[in-house]
């Protein structure tokens, strides 16, 4: 495949990663895919700024994992850096393999310097694109890469076989050290510094100073269909993405097929993946097309409002000098275009066919209602704080700002040592009613604790997540570990069960693992708690997670042997 990737990654290695889909051994039926990830530092230069970053195997972005549905994946992770590290396989269901899920102090203690851990899991009932990333502090700023899940051998896609498949990972580049950025923000209580650029496959592109050589180029042939496997790995920003003069057909989100639909622009939140088909023009035009991504942002805080761009180039024999060709630019929605965001997310529908059914829970055991949003913590007496009104920024779910424990929750649960670590008393409703999306209350202080929502095995759950406007209405992409869920409804204002429930889609709602709670609105999801373990749920805007917009579910074992969490692997890290 034709890629021109000018980056500091050893070019041969990177080209190998992208071009070689599967080795001979990997083409046979259900297999075990074995990877070795060495966490080490590398010097990388972007925007004329050289920086030491934490990487996997010296690569930025990290290597891709390729597996077929049904395969076992074993990733041995060796930590050669000073930082504690864990990796998360974002969106992988981890059926009865919670020990391999990865969020630090939730399912495991971190892999400390000089130690290793083998993540061991299977991929079941999923096909499309997922991704892996660090799940401790802000290390995922540079530790991330694609997970490509192919259908079982001999099983076709529910769309025409694409000519080529191309992973496209959006990220954020910071000239500063991201660990220093979040530590400073947590100390001062103010909003963190923002990134210097967005990137496509690690490359900021020509719209930034000192960056045109670091441009992602997609070289295509006319009259072909390309499958773009798009991942938003940015830390703090939802993104709009568009390619000039080309239509994108969305066919799969979060490794679940959807009913195909066309749009010029897609919206993708951190944590989400979107597979789109790109049909190139029948006759190679004499033009070059810009592709661009920039934020969809609704909060009041400062954010990186810059634009990353790459190039779509047609390979024409007659195009002797590509530089002389006209360049067309895409038109992206305005940064706060919630109307576009709503229209786009409303188009997402499960296939809901015999082969790919939408098993939406039709009767519900637990109706839950969680508020999500920002608030504040008091400023320590001897300090001046830079958060709202001289306080510190905080964030919460049902007014509980989650306190990270110092030992892993899953071990505490499994070994019956929860006392003093967590309490299974997460509130099922907000404790106090107020107009969640109206005039903010005077008291913006949040409560805190390490509270879990306990569920019996196989409980069918309906959860409504309600944004609050306490410190400004804002969209929050909520990610649930260990499960997919169905997005059965969404709306603006305060959720009203007597009115809104009647409009739920229980037939073909989209199934995914990360969903945006609309700014000043709500989203309703359903899932069946059929995977025992402790499962993190959090906003995938990393700054909100740092402020406490996170909680965990405790799904108990079922009666049958295959409904129980197996014991931990011998090499599980200790705290
Ligand atoms: C990165 O650059 C610094 C300063 O030039 C150097 O000391 C260090 O060894 C380099 N690190 C790596 C991993 O190459
Ligand atoms: C991975 O897990 C499977 C199933 O529990 C087990 O049979 C296998 O030995 C494990 N492999 C490694 C390398 O830990
Ligand atoms: C954040 O930005 C401020 C203002 O530019 C700067 O003084 C500070 O050093 C930055 N913090 C970090 C951790 O880079
Ligand atoms: C690029 O540099 C010029 C001159 O220093 C400056 O005026 C401009 O704002 C910079 N542009 C970006 C996108 O940083
Ligand atoms: C691309 O789209 C622009 C308008 O957005 C139009 O003016 C132009 O003719 C188109 N060019 C090609 C080659 O499709
Ligand atoms: C981006 O934000 C900066 C600072 O808030 C502002 O000056 C600038 O006009 C914004 N740029 C765009 C393209 O919105
Ligand atoms: C979006 O931003 C524009 C420009 O800053 C502003 O005029 C408009 O009121 C904003 N719209 C919404 C819905 O906030
Ligand atoms: C404030 O006091 C606490 C304990 O009383 C201390 O740990 C902290 O360092 C002090 N901070 C400042 C900025 O003086
Ligand atoms: C900030 O404090 C002032 C005075 O105490 C109060 O009037 C105002 O409502 C507060 N604003 C917020 C956003 O809490
Ligand atoms: C909540 O506040 C909004 C905005 O002020 C208002 O439109 C709405 O009617 C209020 N809802 C209730 C139930 O009071
Ligand atoms: C909040 O503060 C305002 C202005 O100080 C006051 O009028 C109002 O009664 C307060 N509301 C509550 C619920 O305390
Ligand atoms: C790494 O994790 C261990 C276990 O939780 C902890 O004791 C240690 O302080 C951590 N080290 C760093 C540098 O954060
Ligand atoms: Cu959030």
352 occurs within a structural domain: no
> Do residues 383 and 481 both lie within one domain?
yes
Relative to the CA of 42, which ligand 1 atom is closest? 13
- Please name which of 420, 471, 462 lies closest in space to residue 444, comparing C-alpha atoms: 471
54 occurs within a structural domain: yes
Domain boundary among 346, 378, 393: 346
Q: Output b/e per residue, 97-126; b: 16+ Cβ within 10 A.
A: bbbbbbbbbbbbbbbeeebbbbbbbbbeeb
pLDDT digits (tens, 9 = 90+) for 399-438: 999 999 999 999 999 999 999 999 999 999 999 999 999 9
How buried is residue 331: exposed, middle or buried, by Cβ count under 10 Å (0-12/13-18/19+)?
exposed
Q: How many CB atoms lie within 10 A of CB 18?
A: 17
Residue 247, domain CATH: 2.60.40.420
Report which secondary-structure segment, H or E, holds 340: helix 338-346
Structure tokens that stand for 289 in this block: 């097309």
Q: Looking at ligand 10, which residue's alpha carbon is closest to its atom 14?
A: 435
CB 372 within 8 A of CB 476: yes
271 occurs within a structural domain: yes
**Which ligand has the nearest atom to the CA of 302?**
6
Residue 499 pLDDT more than 90? yes
> Do residues 250 and 296 both lie within one domain?
yes
pLDDT at 508: 98
Cα 81 to Cα 111, 136, 391, 406, distances in angstroms: 10, 14, 35, 21
287 CB near ligand 5 (under 6 Å)? yes
Helices (H), 132-235: 178-188
> Do residues 237 and 297 both lie within one domain?
yes
Write out the DSSP string of 11-43.
Answer: HHHHHHHHH----TGGGSSS-EEEEEEEEEEEE
Relative to the CA of 43, which ligand 1 atom is closest? 1
Quote the Cα angle for 484-198-261, to 5°.
45
Instruction: Return mean pLDDT, the chain.
Output: 94
- Please name which of 85, 138, 88 lies closest in space to residue 112, comparing C-alpha atoms: 85
Report the alpha-carbon distance of residue 563 to residue 413 in Å, rounded. 16
549 occurs within a structural domain: yes
**Which ligand has the nearest atom to the CA of 243?**
5
pLDDT digits (tens, 9 = 90+) for 54-66: 999 999 999 999 9
Domain boundary among 285, 311, 346: 346
Write out the DSSP string of 81-99.
Answer: SSS-B-EEEET---TT-GG
pLDDT bucket at 326, cuts 50 / 70 / 90:
confident
Q: Which domain holds residue 532?
A: 366-563
386 occurs within a structural domain: yes
Enumerate the β-bridge partners of residue 310. 291
Find the mean pLDDT for residues 476-502: 98
Peptide bond into 451 cis (omega under 30): no
> In a mutational test of the pocket of ligand 3, which residue from 174, 176, 186, 187 has the highest number of ligand atoms less than 8 Å from its CB?
176
Number of domains in the chain: 3
Prediction pTM value: 0.93
> In a mutational test of the pocket of ligand 1, which residue from 52, 59, 81 has the highest number of ligand atoms less than 8 Å from its CB?
52
> In a mutational test of the pocket of ligand 5, which residue from 328, 330, 331, 332 has the highest number of ligand atoms less than 8 Å from its CB?
328
> Do residues 135 and 258 both lie within one domain?
no
> Do residues 375 and 227 both lie within one domain?
no
Structure tokens that stand for 314 in this block: 């047609």
Q: Looking at ligand 1, which residue's alpha carbon is closest to its atom 5?
A: 43
> Do residues 42 and 140 both lie within one domain?
yes
Write out the DSSP string of 429-461.
Answer: S-SS---TTSSPPS--BPEEE-BEEEE-TT-EE
> Do residues 315 and 407 both lie within one domain?
no
In the β-sheet with 225-232, what is the strand arrangement from edge to edge? 197-200, 164-173, 225-232, 273-279, 248-253, 256-263
Report the range of poorest mean pLDDT among 26-35, 342-351, 480-489, 510-519. 26-35
Q: Which residues hold their Cβ within 5 A of ligand 13, which is an ion? A: 476, 539, 541, 544
> Do residues 146 and 168 both lie within one domain?
no
Domain boundary among 290, 311, 346: 346
Residue 27 pLDDT more than 50? no
> Do residues 341 and 382 both lie within one domain?
no
Cα–ligand 3 centroid distance for 193 (angstroms): 6
> Do residues 185 and 120 both lie within one domain?
no
Report the alpha-carbon distance of residue 418 to residue 422 in Å, rounded. 6
DSSP 564: S
Report the number of secondary-structure helices (H) and strands (E) in the chain.
6, 33
- Please name which of 71, 56, 215 lies closest in space to residue 142, comparing C-alpha atoms: 56
Relative to the CA of 287, which ligand 5 atom is closest? 13
Relative to the CA of 58, which ligand 1 atom is closest? 13
Residue 69 pLDDT more than 60? yes
CB 122 within 8 A of CB 97: yes
pLDDT at 8: 36
Relative to the CA of 281, which ligand 5 atom is closest? 14
> Do residues 135 and 181 both lie within one domain?
no
> Do residues 254 and 388 both lie within one domain?
no
Cα–ligand 10 centroid distance for 336 (angstroms): 22
Q: Looking at ligand 9, which residue's alpha carbon is closest to its atom 4?
A: 389
DSSP 193: P
Cα–ligand 10 centroid distance for 493 (angstroms): 7
Q: Looking at ligand 5, which residue's alpha carbon is closest to its atom 4?
A: 245
């Amino acid at each position: 495949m034709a890629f021109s990737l000018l980056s500091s990654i050893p070019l041969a290695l990177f080209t190998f990663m992208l071009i070689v889909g599967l080795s001979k051994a990997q083409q046979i039926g259900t297999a075990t895919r074995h990877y070795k990830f060495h966490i080490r530092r590398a010097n990388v230069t972007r925007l004329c700024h050289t920086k030491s970053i934490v990487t996997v195997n010296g690569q930025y972005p990290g290597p891709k994992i390729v597996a077929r549905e049904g395969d076992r994946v074993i990733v041995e992770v060796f930590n050669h850096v000073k930082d504690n590290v864990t990796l998360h396989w974002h969106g992988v269901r981890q059926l009865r393999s919670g020990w391999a899920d990865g969020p630090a102090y939730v399912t495991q203690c971190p892999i400390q310097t000089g130690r290793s851990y083998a993540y061991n899991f299977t991929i079941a009932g999923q096909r499309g694109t997922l991704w892996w990333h660090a799940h401790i502090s802000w290390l995922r700023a540079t530790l991330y890469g694609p997970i490509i899940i192919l259908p079982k051998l001999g099983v076709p896609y529910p769309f025409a076989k694409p000519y080529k498949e191309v992973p496209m990972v959006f990220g954020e580049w910071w000239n500063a050290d991201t660990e220093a950025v979040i530590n400073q923000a947590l100390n001062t209580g103010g909003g963190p510094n923002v990134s210097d650029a967005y990137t496509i496959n690690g490359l900021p592109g020509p719209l930034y100073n000192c960056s045109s050589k670091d441009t992602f180029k997609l070289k295509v042939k006319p009259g072909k269909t390309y499958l773009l496997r798009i991942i938003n790995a940015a830390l703090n920003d939802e993104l709009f993405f568009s390619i000039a003069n080309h239509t994108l057909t969305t066919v799969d989100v979060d490794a679940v097929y959807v009913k195909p639909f066309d749009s010029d622009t897609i919206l993708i939140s951190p944590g989400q993946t979107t597979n789109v088909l790109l049909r190139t023009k029948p006759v190679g035009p004499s033009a070059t097309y810009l592709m661009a991504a920039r934020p969809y942002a609704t909060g009041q805080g400062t954010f990186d409002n810059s634009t990353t761009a790459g190039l779509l180039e047609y390979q024409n024999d007659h195009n002797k000098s590509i530089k002389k060709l006209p360049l067309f630019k895409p038109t992206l929605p305005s940064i706060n275009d919630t109307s576009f965001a709503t229209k786009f997310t409303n188009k997402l529908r499960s296939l809901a066919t015999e082969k790919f059914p939408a098993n939406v829970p039709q009767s519900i055991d637990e109706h839950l209602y969680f508020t999500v949003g920002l608030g504040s913590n008091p400023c320590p007496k001897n300090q001046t704080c830079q958060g709202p009104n001289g306080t510190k920024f905080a964030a919460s779910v049902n007014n509980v700002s989650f306190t990270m424990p110092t030992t892993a929750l899953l071990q505490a649960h499994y070994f019956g040592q929860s006392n003093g670590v967590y309490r299974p008393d997460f509130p099922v409703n907000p404790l106090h009613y107020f107009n969640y999306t109206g005039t903010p209350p005077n008291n913006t202080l949040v409560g805190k604790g390490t509270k879990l929502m306990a569920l019996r095995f196989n409980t069918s759950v309906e959860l409504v997540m309600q944004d609050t406007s306490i410190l400004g209405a804002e969209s929050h992409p909520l990610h649930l570990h260990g499960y997919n869920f169905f997005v059965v409804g969404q709306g603006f204002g305060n959720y009203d069960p007597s009115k809104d429930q009647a409009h739920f889609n229980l037939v073909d709602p989209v199934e995914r693992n990360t969903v945006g709670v609309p700014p000043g609105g709500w989203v309703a999801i359903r899932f069946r708690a059929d995977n025992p373990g402790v499962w993190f749920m959090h906003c995938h805007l990393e700054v909100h997670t740092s402020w406490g917009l996170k909680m965990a579910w405790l799904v108990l074992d079922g009666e049958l042997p295959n409904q129980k969490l197996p014991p931990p692997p011998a090499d599980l890290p200790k705290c």
